[in-house]
A and B are shown apart, each in its own frame.
Chain A
Amino acid sequence: MQEHFNEEIENLKTSLIKMATLVDDQVERVFTALETGDITLCKGIKAKDLEIDIYDNLIQTQCENILALFQPVAIDLRFVLSALMTNNQLERCGDIAVNIAQRVKKTTDMQSLIKESQILDMGQQAKEMLKNAIDALILNDLDIAQKVLESDEIVDNFNKQIFLFLVERMKTDIALIEPCSHLIVLIRNIERLADHATNIAENLVFYLEAKNIKHQIKLNPPTE
């Protein structure tokens, strides 16, 4: 029975890693498209997202089966719960990649504004966070997870600064209202991507350390 259970857990891990790799590829592609303005890179993003959605359903079914058939406890229970939560985060990251691809198509003629506004730096930071979160997940590495948790604030700050910058530009030039609006939606998506990366790191801490650190930043918050 234990072997059967271990096999199911291994299958679940494999599905999560495959899904995470797909999401990572999608995000990499859309950010390269954003950086280079090469919209051909956005082709096939939507079709690939369907594969991610298939994994979403598969992982949910795998978790449901493990819970129903094996009633895991302790670390096994935490793994299945964290897999369920991470699955949800990865699926949302996939959707965000599709959203960003749509914005990239609409912002090809805004390269100077994109560069000026630090959106690329923000994107780079968010992409790095997701990559680290996925590495932490694959390697069960809490140090990498900690790095992700600490980076969330950087992306939040970028978000605030770029938003203010874009609002100022809209105020000074009415012709920039539409492009800046697209970019505001874009940074909102990038900020959400970083949030999901943070959640994936939090899920890993829950699984490995049996600690719920949601809505906190440090792994070991200082006691007062």
Chain B
Amino acid sequence: MEDMNKTNDKIEIKNLDLFYGQFQALQSISMTMKPKLITALIGPSGCGKSTLLRCLNRMNDLIRGVRITGQVMLDGKDIYSSDTEITELRKRVGMVFQRPNPFPLSIYDNVVYGLRVAGIKGKNQHDEIAEKSLRSAWLWDQLKDKLHHPALQLPLDQQQRLCIARLLAVKPEVILMDEPCSTLDPISTSKIEDLMHELKKDYTIVIVTHNMQQASRVSDYTAFYYIGNLIEFADTKKIFTAPDKKQTEDYISGRFG
């Protein structure tokens, strides 16, 4: 078991409330995410886990009528403070979505897209970062000879790993994954899970998943949410063998949700 008492939390959420208009979707959430570990957010549909994930790089700012109170500290600094640069924040905290969303560009152009947007120039540098990112996403050997082929022609799991490579190119510190395997078959899912295991050596990962087995396989810590409340947050082994709360036990053992 990892040391839960480490003080150097990568992310610390403090008393976070989120409202969609009058509806309160998150209620006084407080939890931490350790660096270079995987934290899984689980719970039935509508429990607020994806909403919370999107709070971590302020993706909810794009939704009209959303009001947030409380704090989300990234390396000790509140990302909701007025001086936060949103573009810089999303570079540091990248996101992988449910469906792979490569741009209708070549594989190479997808990977270096973020670099171009960030104003990083130089073909040599782009080549170097593209190779490194594709290697980190376990795609280099398969794609090195077709870097200029359209990304949309890749199989789904490679598209998803390409999206991860695109993220890695801008050197994030945290990777948010919103059900990243929900559209993939078991073999592709297994590849993404293996990749996550490898990536956690360098990145802090937060994953939302509906798949209990996936949460238990890949994560170090698991947080169970129900109707906007954090019910239980603990070491994944504890959650899946002897959770403290009956609600958690009922959910993970399939008795509700």
Cβ of A2: which chain B residues have Cβ within 8 Å of it? 254-255
- Can you give 25 A-B contacts (C-beta < 8 A)? A1-B254, A2-B254, A2-B255, A71-B213, A72-B253, A73-B212, A73-B216, A73-B240, A73-B241, A73-B253, A74-B241, A74-B242, A74-B243, A74-B248, A74-B249, A74-B252, A74-B253, A75-B253, A76-B253, A77-B240, A77-B241, A78-B241, A78-B242, A210-B241, A210-B242
A165 contacts the other chain (CB 8 A): no
Across chains A and B, the number of contacting residue pairs, with CB separation under 8 Å, is 29
Cβ of A76: which chain B residues have Cβ within 8 Å of it? 253
Contact pattern, B 221-257, Cβ under 8 Å of A = 1, otherwise 0: 0000000000000000000111100001100111100
- A75 near B255 with CB under 8 A, answer no
Cβ of A5: which chain B residues have Cβ within 8 Å of it? 254
Cβ of B249: which chain A residues have Cβ within 8 Å of it? 74-75
Cβ of B253: which chain A residues have Cβ within 8 Å of it? 72-76
Contact pattern, A 50-72, Cβ under 8 Å of B = 1, otherwise 0: 00000000000000000000011
Given contacts A78-B241, A78-B242, A210-B241, contact A73 B255 (CB under 8 A): no
What distance in Å separates the Cβ of A12 from its nearest Cβ neighbour in chain B? 15
Residues of chain B at interface, number, CB under 8 A? 13
Cβ of A77: which chain B residues have Cβ within 8 Å of it? 240-241
Q: Which of A1, A5, A74, A78 has the most CB of B within 10 A?
A: A74
Question: A residues touching B (Cβ–Cβ < 8 Å)?
Answer: 1-2, 5, 71-78, 210
Give the distance in Å from the alpha carbon of A41 to the alpha carbon of B238 in the complex: 49
- B240 near A74 with CB under 8 A, answer yes
Give the distance in Å from the alpha carbon of A58 to the alpha carbon of B18 in the complex: 53
Cβ of A78: which chain B residues have Cβ within 8 Å of it? 241-242
Please give me the residue from chain A that is nearest to B249 by CB atom.
A74
Give the distance in Å from the alpha carbon of A53 to the alpha carbon of B245 in the complex: 38
What distance in Å separates the Cβ of B255 from its nearest Cβ neighbour in chain A? 7
Cβ of A71: which chain B residues have Cβ within 8 Å of it? 213
Cβ of A74: which chain B residues have Cβ within 8 Å of it? 240-243, 248-249, 252-253
Cβ of A210: which chain B residues have Cβ within 8 Å of it? 241-242
Cβ of B216: which chain A residues have Cβ within 8 Å of it? 73
Cβ of A72: which chain B residues have Cβ within 8 Å of it? 253
